[in-house]
Every structure is written in structure tokens, then in C-alpha cells.
Amino acid sequence: MGDFATRLRPILCVVGARPNYMKMAPLIRAFGRHAGVPATLLVHTGQHYDAEMNSKLFQDLQLPPPDLNLEVGSGSHAFQTAEIMRRFEPVIDAHCPSCVVVVGDVNSTLACGLVAAKKRVPIVHVEAGLRSYDRAMPEEINRVLTDQISDVLYTTERAARDNLLREGVLGERIHFVGNVMIDSLLAHRGRAVPAEQILHRSGIPQSRLGRWHKFGAVTLHRPSNVDDAGTLRALLSTLRTVSERLPLVCPLHPRTRANVDRFGLGDLIASDNLLILPPQGYLEMLGLMAEATVVITDSGGIQEETTALGIPCLTVRENTERPITVEQGTNTVVGHDHAAIVAAVEDILQTGGKRGRIPELWDGRAGQRIANHLAGWLAAQHHVVA
Ligand code: UD1
């Protein structure tokens, strides 16, 4: 760390939920290596806490354990957001950070951003400017509001800048740096757990593994897909139909698992062609995605990861905040229609699906770019030549 950086107050880096970890890991690494960036403190809000949603991913991503855990846990959006704010305020008071770094669009991102804004601590938002233009999505509210109060906004795709400018964000605050999630993917791709190992570990006997030499991988967890009994029933029926053509591996998010049980839909997923798994580690998910014939998902990050891996992705939503994955990558937004989803899978089986290309600056160096820029920005704030 350079002389100037040692004199600066630390940076508070916030994570709360699973999709934050793969974005923060490359940042922590890049900040640690950059002489112009002050020390970092990693704060975990505790929004996610199950080992398989949390500590397992920290290990896989070689992310150091958090310096502080606010242990907020689950609750309604209002409860969770308020409780994170209440517990994060004394952390800011204690450390007087030179800035707070938040990533993505989860409740922890907005809650900690709001506290920092009221304390006049600069906010750095990584993955700014993505918009689904669907305000029924809780993440969309988190994105719009976090961007409004951020001082430095790092974007993953060029369209994000236009979205931000339309909302009145100053152009000088916006910096296109690439995608830190893809930094993680490229760093760990070689350590991915082979799909065969995951299938075998999950109890598929060696004699039946042949049937699974081609498979699809599925993740569904958006409230709009899994919180309504009728919607979830229809989606699971569609997956069952697809699985008769192509066996499906489905790691289930705790929200989805709970709703399958609550709505009595267990029978729909009891099939030899559907392998239901608990949430998987990062290296397991990488292995499953990299070897899948198709990935069917409602996740944001997986749309990007499949584009980076060149694996066809069907997004079971009516919109995406990541249009570049459709325009340049392997993603197709299929919506919820049974026939459309079944036909899209059939097309991929026949043709191999979209090949796509790697979007600009998704090259594994976004973390470094952010560290370089942030060092200069912090120096400028303190009127020092970095
Ligand atoms: C959150 C994010 C979402 C992200 C997802 C990834 C928001 C608004 N949503 O949604 O953007 O895609 O994480 O997983 O921040 N639960 C557990 N164990 C845990 C965590 C959660 O069992 O470790 C269960 C609880 O019943 C909880 C429910 O999952 O109520 C939902 O968790 P929550 O953090 O509120 O939102 P996610 O659906 O995970």
C-alpha cells in the first residue's frame, strides 16, 4: 500500500447474499494488490446465512471470511432493509470509511447504500445501470435507488450508461469497466467440479450415468416465478415435459424448496429425469453450467455466466436487465409459455442453440480496472496526486 493509501480511512466492502460473493471476491483481491487503495474491511449483512448459500461459496471463491457479520437473517423486505440499516450505521460510525463499496441489486446493497448516503460517505456501486424496467421486481427498486445515491458507478455493459443518463445521473460519475462476475468465472473455471462427479455424488448410479451424458441445468428462485402456486405448478410441469427429452439437474433455492413443499407440488418433481439438489457451491455450479446442453434460469448472474461460457441459456422471465446477453451472448428470454419453452429446448437440441460472443471487457480484468480508477478517484477527493 502506498504512503497516501495508508493514511486514508479503510474502504467498507458490503456483501449480503449469494450473488454478491462472486462480484466482491475479485474486488477484494484487486484492492489488496493496488498500492493506491486503502485497506478493506469486508462487512457481511447476514442476509444469506445457510452454509450452502454462504460459507461454502466463500471457500470456493477464496474470499476471506468477513471482518464483521451483522447477522440480520431473513424477513420481509421492510424488516430486512431496516434491520440492515440499523446495524450498519454503527459500523460506519466506528470506522469512518473513505467509501462504501456495494455490488449488484440485493436488499443489502440498497440498505447499506442508504446509510452511507445519509452519513455523507461516498458510495461506489459496482454493476450499476442495469434496468429491467419492471418495478414489480424488488431488485429493480434496489438498482434505481442505489444508483441515484452513488458517487461512483461502474458498469458492465455500455447500455447501462444510457439508462443512468436518462435518470439524471451525472455522466462523469459513470465508468464502463467490464464485469467482475466474469473475473471470478475466468479465475475459477479450471477448478470447476466435473458434472459427472456431481451427478454421481447425488446418488445417480454409475450404470445410469450414460443417460445423463447430455443434461440441462435449471435454477428458479424469483418470487414472481416461485411464490404463486399456479405459476410454480405450471413451470414445474413444463420442466417435467422438457426432462422427458433432456434430463434436468435442478439445484433448488431454499425459497423454491419451501414453496414446493407448501403448495404440495413434490409429486411434479419426483421423476428419474429430474435431479433435485440442494443449492450448489460455486465450483459445482460452474461445472454444471459449463457442461450443460442448455441452462434454464431466472437468475441474473447466470444469464451472464452462460454467455461467458458459450452455453445456451433460456431465461424464464418476461424481461432482462442484462440485454447484452441476448444481443451478443447466448441468452434468449423465453417468458413462461409452456409450448415456447419446450420448443426452445427442442431447437437447442437440434441446432446447438445460440453461440454468441464475449461482450466487451468481459475479460477477467474488471476488478483491476476498478482498483486503478478508484485509487485515482480517492486521491482526487483528498487533493493528492496518486
Ligand atoms: C436474494 C436477492 C435476489 C438474489 C437471491 C439469490 C433481494 C431482494 N433478493 O433473494 O436478488 O437473486 O438473493 O439467492 O435481495 N433463505 C434461507 N437461507 C438463507 C437465505 C434465505 O433459507 O441463507 C430463505 C428464507 O426463507 C428467506 C428466503 O430464502 O426468507 C428468501 O431469502 P432473501 O434473502 O429474502 O431473498 P432471496 O430470495 O434469497
Residues forming the active site: 221
**Mean pLDDT, the chain, whole residue set:** 96
Q: What is the pTM of this model?
A: 0.97
At residue 386, does pLDDT exceed 70?
no
Residues 95-149: tens digit of each pLDDT: 999 999 999 999 999 999 999 999 999 999 999 999 999 999 999 999 999 999 9
What confidence score (pLDDT) does residue 13 get? Answer: 98
What percent of the chain has a predicted confidence (pLDDT) above 90?
94
For ligand 1, residues with CB inside 6 Å are: 17-19, 47-50, 53-54, 74, 106-107, 138-139, 221, 253-255, 258
Q: Is 60 exposed, middle or buried (0-12, 13-18, 19+ CB in 10 A)?
A: buried
Which residue owns the Cα nearest ligand 1 atom 29? 255
Helix axes 229-245, 254-262, angle to 10 degrees: 100
Tell me the CA–centroid distance for residue 252 and ligand 1, in Å. Answer: 12
Which residue owns the Cα nearest ligand 1 atom 16? 254
Q: What are phi and psi of 220, to 5 degrees?
A: -135, 125
Which residue owns the Cα nearest ligand 1 atom 19? 48
Tell me the CA–centroid distance for residue 73 and ligand 1, in Å. Answer: 9
- Report how far residue 164's alpha carbon sits from residue 154's, in angstroms, rounded to the nearest whole number: 11
Best probe residue, ligand 1, of 108, 114, 227, 253 (max atoms within 8 Å of C-beta): 253
Atom of ligand 1 at shortest distance to CA of 223?
A: 38
Contact call for residues 106 and 139 (beta carbons, < 8 A): yes
What confidence score (pLDDT) does residue 7 get? Answer: 81
pLDDT band at residue 364, thresholds of 50, 70 and 90? very high
Atom of ligand 1 at shortest distance to CA of 138?
A: 8
Euclidean distance between the first and final Cα of the chain, in Å? 11
Residues 247-302: tens digit of each pLDDT: 999 999 999 999 999 999 999 999 999 999 999 999 999 999 999 999 999 999 99
- Report how far residue 91's alpha carbon sits from residue 247's, in angstroms, rounded to the nearest whole number: 48
What confidence score (pLDDT) does residue 273 get? Answer: 94
Residues 38-51: tens digit of each pLDDT: 999 999 999 999 99
Atom of ligand 1 at shortest distance to CA of 107?
A: 15
For 284-313, b where at least 16 C-beta lie within 10 A, e where not — what string? bbbbbbbbbbbbbbbbbbbbbbbbbbebbb
Query: In the numeric block, which cell numbers belong to residue 115?
Result: 446509510
pLDDT band at residue 5, thresholds of 50, 70 and 90? confident
Best probe residue, ligand 1, of 15, 44, 48 (max atoms within 8 Å of C-beta): 48
Atom of ligand 1 at shortest distance to CA of 222?
A: 38
What confidence score (pLDDT) does residue 217 get? Answer: 98
